[in-house]
Homo-oligomer: A and B are copies of this chain.
Amino acid sequence: MNILSDPDNSSVVDINLFVTLLCACIVIGHLLEENRWMNESITALFIGVCTGFVILLISGGKNSRLLIFSEDLFFIYLLPPIIFNAGFQVKKKQFFRNFSTIMLFGAVGTLISFVVISLGAIALLRPMDIDLAIGDYLALGAIFAATDSVCTLQVLNQDETPLLYSLVFGEGVVNDATSVVLFNAVQNFDLTHINTTVALELVGNFFYLFITSTILGVVAGLLSAYIIKKLYFGRIQSSQIRAFQDREVAIMMLLAYLSYMLSELFNLSAILTVFFCGIVMSHYTWHNVTENSRITTKHTFATLSFVAEIFIFLFVGMDALDIEKWRFVSSSPKMSISVSGILLGLVLVGRAAFIFPLSFLSNLTKKSPHEKIDFKKQVTIWWAGLMRGAVSMALAYKQFTSLGHTNVRGNAIMITSTITVVLFSTVVFGLITKPLVRFLMPSSKQLTRMISSEPATRNP
């Protein structure tokens, strides 16, 4: 048809290849479902790395990517459906029952993790002759305090281990908000003179963000319920049902997206907003729509989220081989490996530093032994939140390439180290998580099903 503005445009080829790869990931991921080690994220990462390698060979070592990884693409298009769907499908009873523990892990825990990683980075990386400012070390703390809620969803099963799932995933959502607040604080506040006022300001800022973001999400969800109810009872006739169903679904999707973008506009935590919007929509709006729309929304949101997840991992896999970033590293491979190793170690220590003490605190407040987090569960929670993903990547790009300084040696090393940590933690930690959960909690199915006795009909 030759109608695109540039007939020999390579973008058509890229889209074709990308869509084909997405199909391949879905089919291969389905065939590998029985496999106890693999999950769809790792499949997509592998296919992404392989494709990147092939493109690298074809382009003569110049390029490994089909599309350039941009924070905008990630934060504007791919993340919203994933987080919204998580809120829409989350078992609400379980989530709110563990609300205090989730907040403890997500807010206080992330702060502890941030402090440990930042101090560790200053202590261990400073002697290594990398040219980084104090703000960069603090940014590293925020970047690696951000867990990967996407990967967690794939590794833990909501039906098999509902308590762990709601804890780790809930923590992940709050954690996203906390790390973004910390990251912004590092960039905006004058952190060379930390005193009580600045610290209080940070805490106040966090609570302000948390509360306003939540309110915005809840309002958007309630608004969608109100609009659909008004339209439905106002004028609907049986002959119009069909057209009305399309409008219902469209309004739910558009309002959810609008809540995310409004939150972004007001510099709030869009992830929190869209998560609570999903919860409210599944609790109110979903019961106002027609039966067909219920089935449609439930599956459409799940499908969109599923495709966006695969998209992200395919992308990260391809981006990992981008040759420009590795140029500086090739002159000092030992330093790059040791930086990545140090960061990985700090991630492990930083997470252990809050999971075990805070679990102890949380257990003090619980009376029933079923609700307590025993040591095996603590290890699982610690391990399942070790993966670092696209949020870390996006933050690292923002910190270390924002002013076009990709050519500065220190920044290039930080970017490649981030990629290494993300790939290693996703693949190696991710591969081990499934068997670990089965090893530590062989009887988890029976045990946890008893606790989570939410009726299936209440939940979309």
Q: Establish whether residues A30 and B231, one from each chain, have CB atoms under 8 Å apart when the complex forms.
A: yes
Q: Establish whether residues A262 and B307, one from each chain, have CB atoms under 8 Å apart when the complex forms.
A: no
Say which residue of B12, B20, B29, B255 sits within 8 Å of A23 (CB atoms): B255
With A3-B180, A261-B15: A247-B26 Cβ-Cβ less than 8 Å:
yes
Asked if A332 is an interface residue, CB under 8 A from chain B, the answer is no
- Please name all residues of chain B whose beta carbon is closer than 8 Å to the beta carbon of A71 when the two chains form the complex: 3-5
Q: Establish whether residues B75 and A3, one from each chain, have CB atoms under 8 Å apart when the complex forms.
A: yes
Asked if A431 is an interface residue, CB under 8 A from chain B, the answer is no
- Please name all residues of chain B whose beta carbon is closer than 8 Å to the beta carbon of A246 when the two chains form the complex: 299, 302-303, 306
Question: In the complex, what residue of chain B is closest to A187 when comparing beta carbons?
Answer: B2
- Please name all residues of chain B whose beta carbon is closer than 8 Å to the beta carbon of A12 when the two chains form the complex: 261, 264-265
Question: What's the dominant secondary structure at chain A's contact region?
Answer: helix
Q: Establish whether residues A26 and B251, one from each chain, have CB atoms under 8 Å apart when the complex forms.
A: yes
With A33-B235, A254-B307: A270-B23 Cβ-Cβ less than 8 Å:
no
With A2-B184, A227-B27, A254-B19: A249-B398 Cβ-Cβ less than 8 Å:
no
Asked if A206 is an interface residue, CB under 8 A from chain B, the answer is no
- Please name all residues of chain B whose beta carbon is closer than 8 Å to the beta carbon of A258 when the two chains form the complex: 16, 19-20, 23
Asked if A192 is an interface residue, CB under 8 A from chain B, the answer is no
C-alpha gap A235/B32 in the complex (Å): 10
User: Could you list 15 examples of A-B contacts with CB < 8 Å?
Assistant: A1-B270, A3-B183, A5-B71, A12-B264, A13-B265, A16-B262, A23-B255, A26-B251, A27-B231, A27-B251, A245-B299, A250-B306, A254-B307, A292-B295, A292-B299
The 6 A-B pairs with the shortest beta carbon distances in the complex, nearest first, are: A296-B299, A2-B267, A249-B303, A19-B258, A246-B303, A246-B306
